Amino acid sequence: MTKRKKLSKGQLRRIKANRSKKLQAREDAPLVDDASLGPEQDAVVISRFGQHAEVETQDGHRVKAQIRRTVDSLVSGDQVLFRASKTDDGGVIEAVHPRRSMLTRPDYYDGVKVVAANIDHIFVVSSPLPAFSSQIIDRYLIAAEDTGIEVSIVLNKTDLMTDELRDELDQALEIYRQLGYRVILASAKSAEGVAELGECMADQVNILVGQSGVGKSSLVNALLPQAELLEGAVSDNSGLGQHTTTAAKLLKLDKGGALIDSPGVREFGLWHMDPERVTWCYREFRDLIGTCKFRDCKHNDDPGCAITEALANGDIDEMRYFNYLRIIESMAEQKDSRHIKQKPLD
């Protein structure tokens, strides 16, 4: 389990107010008459909208279901006990099976928000437009490492790259390959890498994460043309699409397994994590933790630091180390200002 950082009073107040508003909304929701419901059956959550969720039953039926008040948290990928209505084409979600994994992200209103459940493989998607940033990749990798779920990297939109840019980005990604991450160069447009991506996803529950506009929904469409998800158009410098995805959605893969498309966020904050945990999430730092001269070493200019020593020896990559310092610094800034600027998209 992750050690969570203490939240400020303002953050706690806001989160509490938001939770009680949500509880109130549930109490206002209509009760479902038990007699009108069929037997319990297993189903998977496709996507969640407020007090409802779309589920798929084991015989492949898609149903829009109400959620029992006793169900605390429900997201795409959750395995649930579902009862179909005898009188209409709806139903009720009675309970959620324990999750074998979940991906979370910090949220301005909810503290920490669960993005999806029961994931086996996270694909961090990047692109040349919006601009490639190894620091953003590192932020997503930290969140992924924190969950213990397998993680790979996708560089999408190769069709937009000159040979020169392709070489440059490929070199930047070589560092990740050396760290043991699989890197896939892909294009939803030219279909490069799409088959390879599909092979890596077979028989697992996969999720695409990454900045808004990198082409997650487009890759889903390339993998599953029948999905017909709405894609955005790169309308400005930020690359934010008009059809930006607002809710996570699960799609079944033809060869078994599933794929979840998730909404991108403008800025992926990590303020909910302990800086020590962030250090641990850097794979190449992990074995060095606890070997610095001082127990409270900040791995910056502290004497006898094992991490800066490994950096000097060339065992740790400069870019990764620079990103690490920037991320730790930005976490401290956010803590000082006691608020998070980012407004969530969903």
Ligand X SMILES: Nc1nc2c(ncn2[C@@H]2O[C@H](COP(=O)(O)OP(=O)(O)OP(=O)(O)O)[C@@H](O)[C@H]2O)c(=O)[nH]1
Draw the binding track, 247-286, toward ligand X (x: CB under 6 A; -: no contact).
----------------xx----------------------
Which of residues 118 and 156 has its CB atom nearest to ligand X in the complex?
156
Query: How far apart are the C-alpha atoms of 218 and 158, rounded to whole Å?
Result: 13
Residue 136 structure tokens: 């953003």
Which of residues 79 and 206 has its CB atom nearest to ligand X in the complex?
206
**What is the nearest approach in angstroms of ligand X to the Cβ of residue 63?**
25
In the list Mg ion, Zn ion, ligand X, none, the entry touching 297 (Cβ below 5 to 8 angstroms by class) is Zn ion
Per CB under 5 A, which of residues 233..292 are in contact with Mg ion?
245
265 within 8 A of 212, measured Cβ to Cβ: yes
Amino acid at 200: C
Q: According to CB under 5 A, which one of 249, 272, 299, 320 is a site residue for Zn ion?
A: 299
250 within 8 A of 259, measured Cβ to Cβ: yes
Query: How far apart are the C-alpha atoms of 280 and 270, rounded to whole Å?
Result: 14
Query: How far apart are the C-alpha atoms of 179 and 166, rounded to whole Å?
Result: 20
**Residue 213 annotated as binding site:** yes
Amino acid at 323: N
**Residue 217 annotated as binding site:** yes
Q: According to CB under 6 A, which one of 126, 152, 156, 308 is a site residue for ligand X?
A: 156
Q: Does 130 bind ligand X (CB under 6 A)?
A: no
In the list Mg ion, ligand X, Zn ion, none, the entry touching 215 (Cβ below 5 to 8 angstroms by class) is ligand X
What Å distances lie between residue 128 and 49, 136, 174, 191, CA to CA? Answer: 32, 13, 16, 16
Q: Does 233 bind ligand X (CB under 6 A)?
A: yes
Query: How far apart are the C-alpha atoms of 103 and 189, rounded to whole Å?
Result: 28
Query: How far apart are the C-alpha atoms of 242 and 273, rounded to whole Å?
Result: 31
In the list Zn ion, Mg ion, ligand X, none, the entry touching 307 (Cβ below 5 to 8 angstroms by class) is Zn ion
Query: How far apart are the C-alpha atoms of 17 and 122, rounded to whole Å?
Result: 32
Number of CB atoms found within 10 A of residue 202's CB? 12
Draw the binding track, 190-229, toward Mg ion (x: CB under 5 A; -: no contact).
--------------------------xx------------
**What is the nearest approach in angstroms of Mg ion to the Cβ of residue 296?**
42
Q: According to CB under 5 A, which one of 46, 307, 311, 331 is a site residue for Zn ion?
A: 307
Query: How far apart are the C-alpha atoms of 203 and 201, rounded to whole Å?
Result: 6
Q: Which residues contact ligand X (rule: CB under 6 A)?
A: 156-157, 159-160, 187-189, 212-218, 231-234, 241, 243-245, 263-264
Q: Which residues bind Zn ion (CB under 5 A)?
A: 292, 297, 299, 305, 307
